[in-house]
Structure 1
Amino acid sequence: MNPVIEISRVTKRFGSHTALSDVSLTVPTGTVFALLGENGAGKTTTIKLLLGLEEADCGSLRVLGLDCRREAEEIRRRVGYVPEQPALYDWMTASEIGWFTAGFYPEPYEQEYRKLLERFRVPLGRKISQMSKGMRAKVSLSLSLAHQPELLILDEPTSGLDTLVRREFLESMVDIAAAGRTVLLSSHQIGEVERVADIVAIVREGELLVVESLDTLKCQIRELTITMSGSRPPELPCDTLSRRQRGRQWQFLVRTLQNTDFDDLSKQPEVVAVETRTPSLEEIFVAYMQSDKREGSNVEEESRNYDPAEVQP
């Protein structure tokens, strides 16, 4: 199947500030694709470019096979979008805002919208102004899903929400992907992303550091804790994302594209003990954020060459 999103060599500047620099990635159908980065990394800019709300300075973007510059209106009609701060008419009730929005979509939009409100336990007669932030978020998600979009784009959807509401959002993402549709999730809630994402992209200051299936990242990245008898660091047979030293103990986050036998490290002179474990996505994210570009360059090139066909929805 053709990718739902295709971004090729995209650069976007705002004055002297480069928001995105030569970014390329693809998003396969039926996946939860997570876009991770700190505030100002370029996540929201990427979303605006995909929706045709901004234009790239160079490069190309396509969503559902449509050009984001020339066919933006059709893209927005076919895509569901939940911004971090949804713009809702406070004076309307949940029922009224669904009736109003249904005028922009074919039937049975309003019927599907009411089903979603019932699922999320949102009272039809309550005004938006009288709703909690979590309930407003449920209304926004219901509005974006009622036309059964092929692609749902979420920009920090769980920011500031309580635990139960966040869980409902996460369950919805999994259900959508299971139905063969696609979710693009921009978030800094790394722990939540780890629970639902199929593919992870990490951006830092407008540059794409890694695009990889989460399973592959977890299989290939290891934390090594190596105790030495001397002060010299051990020699490692793989790329190093991060390292730190505490006395004679060294801790590394490493990436290997093969099944490396780390037991061989214990045969090196001065190596006393070697311990390995699988790091969390948050630890992987921090390592990429803190690694300098020279150290991460080889890993970056290797990690971009993943095969979308290997990602199972």
Structure 2
Amino acid sequence: MNHIIQTSDLTMSFRGCDALRGVTLNVDEGTVFALLGENGAGKTTLIRILTGFQLPTSGTCRIMDLNPAKDALEIRRRTGYVSDAPALYDWMGVGEIGWFAATLYDNQFLPRYKESIRRYEIPEDRKIRHLSKGQRAKVALSLALAHDPDLLILDEPTSGLDPMVRRDFLESMIDRAASGRTVFLSSHQISEVERVADVIAILHDGKVRVCEPLDKLKDSVTEVAISLEDPLVALPTLPKPAEVLDEQSYGRQRSMVVRHYDSEMHDLLASRVGVTGVSERALSLEEIFIAFTGRSQSPKPVENAEIPMAIEGGLA
């Protein structure tokens, strides 16, 4: 499978801030690729580099086998982009802005745009300024898709939208990928992304913590709950390739989030003197995200308490 996006050791430094610190990613054609991260993690900076609006401090980047530093216009011609706050001309009507954008593309742009607007039930004579945020997002998506781009980039596109609009918006991305196109989705709305993404990358503090297919990522991370005779019982170090992402204590209960956990590690913990029980639980993507970004909140220890099971998510 061909890579439609390739980055190698990208860095971006601003005065007093390293927005990206060695980002390496490969995005395959025909996938929904989700880049997850908190606000300020570097997601928008990376998108600006991908689209040629920002030159990186160091590293390399190729989009559709083009160099954003030299081929930015061609990349934008073949890319659709929707942000959380699409820049649309408020004084134009819905039909007018489609006609205006159509002058930049081939003669199939306007029919595709009008069909999309009809599907979303947005009147062509309605002024952009009179649209709701959800309707504006649908107009922006229609504009971004009307030239049938090879790559669609979405930067927090569902921020502030109602649940029904968000669901329809994201599920349309699955259809997009099924047609062989690629969707690059940047978001911190993790529960929504979990329903549509093929591949997940977690960006934290300017670094990619993990990049794997969603099913593989979820299979590789486990919460391990350990019951102890005494809170001071020392547990053995788990052998490689295990990686403890998070560890919390609640009286005589110990909770660990472990990557690459297996049955031999279960036996190692269960056989430890002072351990009275070991159980495992699969995690949601949101819980995995919290573990990788180190933002979990430890509750006050309560003797014999049960371990909590839910942790707190344009115009081309």
In 1, Cα distance between equivalents of 2:217 and 2:131: 40
CA shift digits 1:29-77 (9 cap, x unpaired)? 1111111111111100000000000001111111111111000000000
Aligned length: 291
TM-score, normalised to structure 2, is: 0.89
SS across alignment from 2:192: helix
Matched AA of 2:200 = V
Matched AA of 1:66 = L
Matched AA of 1:53 = F
In 1, Cα distance between equivalents of 2:104 and 2:215: 39
In 2, Cα distance between equivalents of 1:266 and 1:17: 45
Gaps of 5+ in 2: 296-316
Matched AA of 2:63 = V
- After TM superposition, the structure 1 = structure 2 runs for residues 230-309 of structure 1, keeping only pairs within 5 Å, are 230=230, 231-235=232-236, 236-237=238-239, 238-256=242-260, 260=264, 262-263=266-267, 265-290=269-294
- After TM superposition, the structure 1 = structure 2 runs for residues 204-243 of structure 1, keeping only pairs within 5 Å, are 204-230=204-230, 231-235=232-236, 236-237=238-239, 238-243=242-247
Shift of 1:233: 3.8
In 1, Cα distance between equivalents of 2:50 and 2:116: 26
TM-score, normalised to structure 1, is: 0.90
Shift of 1:142: 0.4
Confirm whether residue 202 of structure 1 aligns to residue 202 of structure 2. Answer: yes
SS across alignment from 1:191: helix
Residue identity over aligned pairs, in percent, reads: 51
RMSD value over aligned CA atoms? 1.4
Q: Residues 244 and 261 (structure 1 numbering): CA distance in 2 closer, same or farther, change over 3 Å?
A: closer
Name the counterpart of 1:67. Answer: 67
Name the counterpart of 1:15. Answer: 15
In 2, Cα distance between equivalents of 1:187 and 1:276: 29
Q: Residues 210 and 289 (structure 1 numbering): CA distance in 2 closer, same or farther, change over 3 Å?
A: same
Matched AA of 2:41 = A
- After TM superposition, the structure 1 = structure 2 runs for residues 93-104 of structure 1, keeping only pairs within 5 Å, are 93-104=93-104
Shift of 1:126: 0.8
- After TM superposition, the structure 1 = structure 2 runs for residues 42-81 of structure 1, keeping only pairs within 5 Å, are 42-81=42-81
Name the counterpart of 1:35. Answer: 35
Shift of 1:260: 4.9
Retained in 2: the 8 A contact 1:242–1:253?
yes
- After TM superposition, the structure 1 = structure 2 runs for residues 167-206 of structure 1, keeping only pairs within 5 Å, are 167-206=167-206
Matched AA of 2:156 = E
- Name the one with the larger helix percent: 1
In 2, Cα distance between equivalents of 1:152 and 1:233: 50
Retained in 2: the 8 A contact 1:233–1:250?
no
CA shift digits 1:218-239 (9 cap, x unpaired)? 1111011110112214223422
Gaps of 5+ in 1: 292-313
Matched AA of 1:273 = G
